[in-house]
Structures are given as structure tokens and as C-alpha cells.
Chains A and B, each alone.
Chain A
Amino acid sequence: MYKTHLANLSYDFKTLRNLMAKATPPRSGDYLAGVAAANNLERVAAQWVLADVPLKQFINEALVPYEQDEVTRLIIDGHDRAAFAPVSHLTVGDFRNWLLSEHATSEILTALAPGLTPEMVAAVSKIMRIQDLILVAKKCRVVTRFRGTIGLENRLSTRLQPNHPTDNPAGVAASVLDGLLYGCGDAVIGINPASDNLEATARLLHLLNDVIERYQIPTQSCVLAHVTTTLKAIAQGAPVDLVFQSIAGTQKANDSFGINLDLLQEAHLAALELGRGTVGNNCMYFETGQGSALSANAHEGMDQQTCEARAYAVARKFRPLLVNTVVGFIGPEYLYDGKQIIRAGLEDHFCGKLLGLPMGCDVCYTNHAEADQDDMDMLLTQFAVAGGTFIMGVPGADDVMLNYQSTSFHDALYIRQVLGLRPAPEFEQWLQQHQLFDAHNRLLQQREIPALFKPALQKLSGHSNGQH
């Protein structure tokens, strides 16, 4: 049924899963998996065929069998047919036209989200250009809350990422303070611990909690340990705001991460029980990234972008505060160069937003990828134009623990400046009240140390006087 005749060649794509993989824009991970189109013509042929597939077909033909995969079961069992009704008669190609039209308003897209499956949004993204991905995502509005309100129109939040190679508390605190002084951290202050053990995790949780309380910062903390470690920390009474976990789009890949839906459910309930949010109770933080299923040899014959979209079905079940696609972290065997990284980041944002998720993007790359700061500036700018929810703030864009490059505090200030974007309202008020930002959210040009942090820094200059 997935056949076409194009430029004197016949194509028969046999299954929807195969068709999706062949239609996907070029990506080194799909070549590695052996599922990509052999050439440009085969890719375009697949896109033509895909455009004629009715959206309903995605309900009838699971890409991974219902019986063998709990993510498929979650997608099918959780599908809201009433919400789907307004687009249920459309093909993938018509769905693209409809999304671009004035009929698809913010309100209508919000109501539609539970009626869409990851495969439907992945399919339509494959026949969209970058400007389509931006235009439609920009219309989506997803607002979440914990101690601050994330995702309001014309706002862009940042995760302050103060990683340290040995989790040294003073080292972490130094990066936290530098980030706060640059106005960063309204999405979360989130640390990747160097070692995933309970003691280190609990120590960092207490540190962040104490800083947030001491300086009355309207934000939330997270230590990005494995969910089982965080559950143990909760049981010990550690102050957990957000529960973190990396998730993927197949049961097998999630197995390789040591998680399943029941475990995530248990963690979600445990965090809700703590009730630490003040303006809302979205208390999960998920990270994803194209290629993660393949790297666990658990892609089930799917292309990596479709796998990624299926991870969002897992995420949305738990009403997260934040979802972050860590797009360039995985390396060139999955996303070869800046061009592939940029498109992947925008696809992920588009798919996540259509499915109703608060999508952020770790605009990032490794040193063995064909990418540089210019590529990141392009993705950052396009992501923000598309209405991206949050980005990372890493000191000088150089993560000294994870050894990759992300966006910096300065990058966030750049993009807020050119697009007139503001931080989350509660955090914005805190920044202005303590004179970290002026009334127009600009750094004060004559920089004195703000009174709030003067005592802490004065202690230090007292310490280091002898050295100068």
C-alpha cells in the first residue's frame, strides 16, 4: 500500500515504519542503523507516499507491536479520539497544510494535543521545512509551573547548569552565583552529578535547597541522578523539587536506562507528595535526544526522529515542568554536523510542542562533530524564534564535567536582547528587585556586586587578600 512511481522508478515501502525511516531527512544515525533512504530520490519518493497516508493509519498500524512494547500501549491506550476528531479525516500532507493555516490557532492546537500521537507529528515533521517547523511550533503554547511560571508568551527561561568535575560544593556554588549574577536559572538550577551515588546526590540537593531558601530565589532545583537514586534520596528526606530521568521511545531502550513506566509513576507520585511547588505542581524533568534508542540497540527498526517523538509520549504522561532535547550531545555517529543538529533540534521542539510538552533544547555539540559556535548560534536563534521554552546556561558554554559545549549565560542574554524575550515573571521580579537586572532586563553596566551577594563575596576577598 505504500507504493509510488517517480522519475521512472517504482518504490514499494512495505511498512509504515519503513516508510517513515525512508522519508526522514538525512541523519548519520539512520545510516548507521541501516534504515535510511539509499539516495535523495528514494527519500523524496517516501515523502510523497507519506504525505498521502491518512492520520488514522497511525492508530491502525503500530510501528512497534502493541503486545511487545509498553510505549506503544501507552500511545494507543492514551489516544483521545474526541480531541483527534477535528483532524481525523486528514492525510499527513493535508495535516501540514492545516497546521500552517490560520485555522490552527494556539487554542485549537492546545485542545488537539491529546488527540495526536508521536508518530503523527513525527510524520508531518518529515515533510516540513525548517520555516514550517518554526511557524507551527511558535503557535503552540505550553505553560507549566512549580515555583515559577514557565512557557508564557515572549518569555525564554534558562536552566543554570553549574556542573563541576568532582561535585565540589564550593565549585558548584561558584558557578551558581556566576549564573545568577548573569540572570540565569529560572527554569531550574540543575546539576549533572559526576557520580551517581546517593550520598553525592543528597549533598547537592541540600546545597541547592539551602541556596534557594537563603536567597529566596523563585526557582526549583534538580540533581540529574538516576530516578532510583532520587527515590532513595526522597525516602531519606532530601529536599527534592524536580525528579529527573532520561527517557526514550521504546520499552527496550527504557529498559537499558533501567526504567519503565511504573517506576516513573512511582517517582512522580513521590515528588507530588512532597508538595514543594508554590505556584504549581509540575515536578518532573525529562531529557531525551535523537539516537539514544539506537545507541542502546533498541530502535526496533525505526528512524531516530520517530523514536525521539515516541519518548514524548512517555514524558507527557507525567505532566513535566521541563523536557529537554539534548540534541548534539550524542555525537556525529547520530547527528553528523551542524546542519543535522540544527534540524534535529527544531524537529524535536516542534514535535514536543504539538504533543503539549514544555520543550527546551540543549543547543550543544561535541568536539568530534562537524559543528562550531556559529552552528549553535543558528540553532539558538531559530529555536528562540520558534518560541522554545528554555535553553541551558553553562559558564562560558563549556561544561567542564560532561566535556561538551552548550549555550552560555551570555548566549541567553543575547537572544533575549535581540528578540525581546523575558525570564519567567517571578524570577524577573527577583532579578529586578535585587538589582541584578535593570527595569528592561539588562545587566547593569556599572557593575557593583548586588547587595544580596555582597556578604558572601566580601568574605572571599577577605580570604584571598593575602594572595594579591
Chain B
Amino acid sequence: MGNISKPTAASEDPWQALSQFTPARIALGHAGMSLPTRACLDFQLAHALARDAVNIPLDFIALSGHIQAQGYQTLNLQTQAENQRVYLQRPDLGRLLSASAVDCLQRNACPNADAVVVVADGLSSKAIEHHAEPLLSLLLPQLQTNGYALPPVCLVKHGRVAIGDAIAGHYAARLCIVLIGERPGLSSPDSMGIYFTYQAKPGVSTDADRNCISNIHCNGLSYREALKKLLFLIDAAEKLQLSGVNLKDETTDDDLENLPQQANFLLD
């Protein structure tokens, strides 16, 4: 900056200091009155990452390999959304198991299952690729320690959250835990969510019956924090015999900043 004999075509904003307060794209500068090249390409890069997270298929073979290496069985299932285009336009089909998936579940009966753990690609394959295996490596041993009988971990291609209901219904399991890739943001393309439903029933359970732990990614909720919340919800649900809007997460948010900053530079 400041080389007067060779001015660049873009002007920087002399308020970069504001960026310490927010992840928002502020103080970008301007070329004419438009976005400078660097900021323009930064955006395109973030968009490409987010689009890839949606459109690049999850490697289910690799994922099941990782989970089996931890000593757990897996099943690979599909929904009735036969391809990505259908999946994006027909959320209803992403909630229904394909005929072959139903067959597969019937061949892998597990009487007296307490909890099903389902992993669905959802809207971000990157979220599952990055975060499902590390979270399961904490969750599955903990569920077993707590005495829950688990059928194989179900890995679902083109799945929506409610696909867990169909699987929980099949195993007559009390607890349904779904790990799913969340709608990717430009700044968080690989965010994973966990949806927990107590006594999930296909076609009956609604979003109001679920508890959601969202924003699990490197700059969001940590695996341990997410697990803490989930275990709290499971315990509370077993006591109350319900989940959803009437079950409140009362853990304290260690990760999140809750307190307002006392000082505000614009006003003080």
C-alpha cells in the first residue's frame, strides 16, 4: 500500500481492524465500485468447496472400512432417491428405504436392539467424510459401555434425517441417532449434524419429535462437546420417555461465546 507512483487499480479499505470482530466478509476494498479480483476469487473458491461438498458422492466403501476397522459391523443402504438430482428435488424419497435396503435389513435381523446409529450423506459428503468416523469412535464404545445393544451401523446414500425413523422402526429400537451432512455454508462446507429421536416411528415422527445437535466441524462444535450433549439428551429422554421440543438441552455451551462483549467500539 501507499506506493503512489504505481497505484493498483483496487483500493483497500482502511478499516481492516474491524475483521477481528466477525467472520463476515468485510473491508473487502473496491475496484471502481465493484469487488476487487482477490475478493471475487476468494468467494468463488469458497463456493466451489461448498458445491463439491454437496455434489461429490460420499465414498461409502471407505467409510464402512474405517468403521469396521474399529470393530463394528456396517450395512450399506440406499433410499428411494435414485440419484443426486432426484435426491435434491424430492426430500420425500430420501426418507424412504429402497426395496434392496429393506431386504438387506431383513437379512440382518437383530432382536432386542436398543439404539440404531445411522450415518447419511445428506447435503454434505465432506461433513461425513471428515467427521463421522472420529465421532463414531467416541460414540459407539460409550453406547456399549452404557449397555445398549446395537445393530450394525447403517450407512445410507441419499438419505434425509427421517430415514432414521424407517431403520429404527425396522429394528424396533428405542433410540435413533442420525449423523448427517448439513446444508453447507460458504464458510462451513463440512458441517455435520446429529439428530436424536426417542421411539422414532416412520411416517409419524416429525421434526418436533427430534433434538438436533448441529454445527459439528473444525470451527464449530467439537466431537467431545457434541457427544456430551447427545449423552445428556439420551439420559433425559430415557427418563421422560420422549424427545423433541419438550426435551431441552441443559448442558452448558463450553464452545460458544454467550456473553456480550462489554465494549462496543461504535458506541463507547
User: Which of A's residues lie within 8 Å of B, judged by CB?
Assistant: 28, 31-32, 162-166, 168-178, 181, 203, 207, 210-211, 214, 331-333, 336, 366-368, 372-373, 394-398, 400, 403-405, 408, 410, 413-414, 417, 442-443, 445, 447-449, 456-457, 459-461, 463-464
Q: Mark B68-101, 1 if CB is under 8 A from A, else 0.
A: 0000000000000000000011111000000000
Given contacts A168-B257, A417-B33, are A336 and B89 in contact (CB under 8 A)?
A: yes
Is A449 a contact partner of B14 (Cβ separation < 8 A)? Answer: yes
B252 at the interface (CB under 8 A from A): no
**Residue in A211, A396, A417 whose beta carbon sits within 8 Å of that of B26 in the complex:** A396
Bound complex: CA A366 to CA B88 (Å)? 12
Is B13 a contact partner of A447 (Cβ separation < 8 A)? Answer: yes
Residues of B contacting A164 in the complex (Cβ-Cβ under 8 angstroms): 22, 24
25 contacts between A and B (CB under 8 A): A162-B24, A166-B257, A166-B258, A173-B266, A174-B19, A178-B26, A207-B264, A336-B88, A367-B183, A368-B88, A368-B183, A396-B24, A396-B25, A398-B43, A403-B183, A403-B185, A403-B188, A404-B185, A413-B33, A414-B33, A449-B14, A460-B17, A460-B18, A461-B17, A464-B17
Bound complex: CA A47 to CA B265 (Å)? 58
Bound complex: CA A214 to CA B266 (Å)? 9
Residues of B contacting A333 in the complex (Cβ-Cβ under 8 angstroms): 88-91
Is A400 a contact partner of B24 (Cβ separation < 8 A)? Answer: yes
Chain B interface mostly = loop
**Residue in A210, A417, A449 whose beta carbon sits within 8 Å of that of B15 in the complex:** A449
Bound complex: CA A175 to CA B13 (Å)? 13
Q: Determine the residue in chain B with the shortest Cβ distance to A178.
A: B26
Is A332 a contact partner of B53 (Cβ separation < 8 A)? Answer: no
CB within 8 Å of A: which B241-268 residues: 256-258, 260-261, 263-268
Residues of A contacting B186 in the complex (Cβ-Cβ under 8 angstroms): 367, 398, 400, 403, 405
Shortest CB–CB separation between residue B187 and chain A, in angstroms?
5
Is B267 a contact partner of A32 (Cβ separation < 8 A)? Answer: no
B47 at the interface (CB under 8 A from A): yes
Given contacts A203-B260, A211-B266, A459-B265, are A410 and B30 in contact (CB under 8 A)?
A: yes
Residues of A contacting B90 in the complex (Cβ-Cβ under 8 angstroms): 32, 333
Given contacts A373-B47, A410-B30, are A400 and B187 in contact (CB under 8 A)?
A: yes
Residues of B contacting A408 in the complex (Cβ-Cβ under 8 angstroms): 25, 35
Is A170 a contact partner of B21 (Cβ separation < 8 A)? Answer: yes
Given contacts A32-B91, A173-B265, A174-B22, are A181 and B183 in contact (CB under 8 A)?
A: no
Shortest CB–CB separation between residue A165 and chain B, in angstroms?
7
**Residue in A173, A207, A211, A366 whose beta carbon sits within 8 Å of that of B183 in the complex:** A366
Bound complex: CA A146 to CA B26 (Å)? 28
Is B265 a contact partner of A460 (Cβ separation < 8 A)? Answer: yes
Residues of B contacting A166 in the complex (Cβ-Cβ under 8 angstroms): 256-258
Shortest CB–CB separation between residue B3 and chain A, in angstroms?
14
Q: Determine the residue in chain A with the shortest Cβ distance to B88.
A: A332
Is B26 a contact partner of A174 (Cβ separation < 8 A)? Answer: yes
**Residue in A165, A332, A404 whose beta carbon sits within 8 Å of that of B89 in the complex:** A332
**Residue in B15, B18, B33, B89 whose beta carbon sits within 8 Å of that of A410 in the complex:** B33
Bound complex: CA A179 to CA B35 (Å)? 14
Shortest CB–CB separation between residue A437 and chain B, in angstroms?
10
Q: Determine the residue in chain A with the shortest Cβ distance to B18.
A: A174
B34 at the interface (CB under 8 A from A): yes
**Residue in A176, A367, A445 whose beta carbon sits within 8 Å of that of B50 in the complex:** A367
Shortest CB–CB separation between residue A422 and chain B, in angstroms?
14
Is B263 a contact partner of A170 (Cβ separation < 8 A)? Answer: yes
Is A447 a contact partner of B24 (Cβ separation < 8 A)? Answer: no
Residues of A contacting B123 in the complex (Cβ-Cβ under 8 angstroms): 368
B5 at the interface (CB under 8 A from A): no
Q: Determine the residue in chain B with the shortest Cβ distance to A200.
A: B260
Residues of B contacting A211 in the complex (Cβ-Cβ under 8 angstroms): 266-267
Q: Mark B37-67, 1 if CB is under 8 A from A, else 0.
A: 0010001101100110110000000000000
Residues of B contacting A443 in the complex (Cβ-Cβ under 8 angstroms): 30, 33
Residues of A contacting B256 in the complex (Cβ-Cβ under 8 angstroms): 166
Is A403 a contact partner of B184 (Cβ separation < 8 A)? Answer: yes
Bound complex: CA A448 to CA B256 (Å)? 36
Given contacts A32-B90, A410-B35, are A368 and B265 in contact (CB under 8 A)?
A: no
Q: Determine the residue in chain A with the shortest Cβ distance to B31.
A: A410
